[in-house]
Amino acid sequence: MTLQRCEALMRLGWLIALIVAGLWPDDSARAQDWRSQTDCAAVERAAEGGDTSFYVDLAICHIRGEGREPDVAKGLVWLRKAVALGDTDAMVELGNLYLFGAEGLAVDAPGAVKLYARAARLGDPNAMFNMAVMHRGGYGLPENPRLARAWYLRSGEAGLAAGAFGAGVALLEGYGGRSDARRGVLWLRRAIEMGSAEAMNELGRLHAEGLGVSSDSDKALYFYRAAARNELPDAMYRLGAAHYNGRLTDRNYVVAMRWFQLAADRGDYDAWFALGVMCETGRGVKSDRELALQMYRRAADSDQPAVRDKAQRAIDRLLGLAEDDEDPVG
């Protein structure tokens, strides 16, 4: 696993839906869980009646437009009121808006960092995690691996699963300091205890490759399945690859195809490519070049150059535009 592969995008929950690009934790920044079933009319009555605990929820109602026209300006008013009262959830949410911009609000990454830092000083684990993400670089800001690692550790210590996972990966990778496999695995286990499917998947990979832990096919499959039960597409893809290649378990193309389909249905482009290979070669299904072409075209939509390029090569081969060997799966 490389830092380039681990690079991830900010996940903003109700603000912006982005595809996670690797094994770093969903670079998250949602301050609180918010459900679409929220009764925005009741929230508005409570907030306007002076109940400050509903200010952030009302801001989200306005920004999302639940049961009304979206109104970012009104949402910002309520967020700023909550920030003025010291609400760390509001600081994180307003920071998210500054980071990516919104209608009537220009992108302001330094402004986002100030809000995250303020919330982090007040003990907010999501803000601590966001500080780690910001120090990973990007967003027009310089990279500082040492501070990124320190903030992952702090957010993990504060009880955030994504932070614990980020700390584990940083320690295993030697990102921001010396590599420490023992501590890295301990942090992954802490993240698993907090419910991190990404940490389950990563520990499965470590057991599959014998990195920092014993090489153990049964444990690898156990953790992959645990992550898959938690709806992690990459774990589903890895289970498909295990059955396709016969490396961790007996080769079984039918089972492999089922796992690849589950992963593909959840947006895994490697899985779409794998399905293309299976349809083209008749493994686990009757050979069907037209269906394979459809699968490869889905894979070609990936934002990862390696996946996109190999899918395009396969498309060109099937269309008779180029000669290329079949790419392996897994």
Would you say 270 and 307 are in contact if contact means Cβ atoms under 8 Å apart? yes
Instruction: Say if residue 194's pLDDT is above 70.
Output: yes
List of E strands, the chain: 10-11, 27-28
Q: Is residue 58 part of a domain?
A: yes
pLDDT of the residue at 318: 94
Instruction: Say if residue 224's pLDDT is above 70.
Output: yes
Would you say 197 and 205 are in contact if contact means Cβ atoms under 8 Å apart? no
pLDDT of the residue at 238: 98
Which 3-state string (H, E, C) describes 96-125? Answer: HHHHHCECCECCCHHHHHHHHHHHHHCCCH
Residue 273, both tokens: 């490519």
- Average pLDDT estimate for 178-201: 97
What pLDDT, in 10s, does the model give residues 233-271? 999 999 999 999 999 999 999 999 999 999 999 999 999
Distance (Å, rounded) from C-alpha 313 to C-alpha 279? 16
Q: Is residue 179 part of a domain?
A: no
As beta bridge partners, residue 138 has 141
Helix (H) or strand (E) holding 28: strand 27-28
Q: Is residue 27 part of a domain?
A: no
pLDDT of the residue at 199: 98
- Least confident piece of the model among 57-66, 191-200, 225-234, 303-312: 57-66
What are the helix and strand counts (H, E) for the chain?
A: 17, 2
pTM: 0.84
Distance (Å, rounded) from C-alpha 131 to C-alpha 149? 10
Distance (Å, rounded) from C-alpha 328 to C-alpha 245? 9
Q: Is residue 217 part of a domain?
A: no
Residue 11, both tokens: 């996940």
Q: Is residue 153 part of a domain?
A: no
Final residue belonging to a domain, choices 60, 87, 122: 122
Closest to 113 (Cα-Cα) out of 87, 84, 142, 145: 142
Phi and psi torsions of 102, nearest 5°: -160, 170
Q: Is residue 180 part of a domain?
A: no
Number of domains observed in the structure of the chain: 2
What pLDDT, in 10s, does the model give residues 38-51? 788 999 999 999 99
More confidently predicted of 248 and 8: 248
Domain range enclosing 92? 40-122
Would you say 145 and 174 are in contact if contact means Cβ atoms under 8 Å apart? no
Residue 112's CATH number? 1.25.40.10
Distance (Å, rounded) from C-alpha 175 to C-alpha 142? 15
Cα 174 to Cα 4, 101, 150, 160, 182: the distances in Å are 13, 33, 12, 21, 12
Neighbours of 122 (CB within 10 A): 12
Final residue belonging to a domain, choices 67, 96, 122: 122
Final residue belonging to a domain, choices 97, 122, 147: 122
pLDDT of the residue at 70: 87
Cα 205 to Cα 30, 123, 145, 156: the distances in Å are 28, 33, 24, 21
Query: Residue 283 contacts by C-beta under 8 Å, 6 or more apart in sequence?
Result: 244, 253, 256, 257, 277
Q: Is residue 142 part of a domain?
A: no
Q: Which amino acid would we find at residue 301?
A: D
Name the DSSP class of 12: -
Q: Is residue 67 part of a domain?
A: yes
